[in-house]
Amino acid sequence: MKMFLISDNVDTYTGMRLAGVEGVVVHKEDELRAELERAAADEEIGIVLLTEKFGRDFPEVVNEVKLAHRLPLFVEIPDRHGTGRSKNFITDYVSQAIGLKL
């Protein structure tokens, strides 16, 4: 199985290409949806990497495709600007999940 990148910027795409990961750069919602469906239909792809911007800008598209397909695994990764999450996002997530402040 191979990995596939769907990126919103050329820098992340270029870095992943240097690591041997194929991918595409898209900017619009319809382009994203088409590439997600194409990647989901390819049986050779085991992991689809998405830059975090897509999860923020088009959460309904990303979630719809994630829920509709058991494979591949869809993983959001930080882009060249780093993560959009707070530095304590894991602790905050656990606190919200169990209802206790850690």
pLDDT at residue 102 above 80? no
Whichever domain contains 28, its CATH number is 3.40.50.10580
Domain count, the chain: 1
The dihedral built from the CA positions of residue 26, 30, 34 and 36, taken in this order, carries a sign that is positive
Q: Round to whole Å and give the CA distance between 98 and 5.
A: 33
Per-residue pLDDT, 85: 59
Residues 33-84 have pLDDT tens digits of 999 999 999 999 999 999 988 888 898 998 898 888 888 999 888 876 656 6
User: Which residue range(s) make up the domain with 70?
Assistant: 2-98
What is the per-residue pLDDT for 30? 93
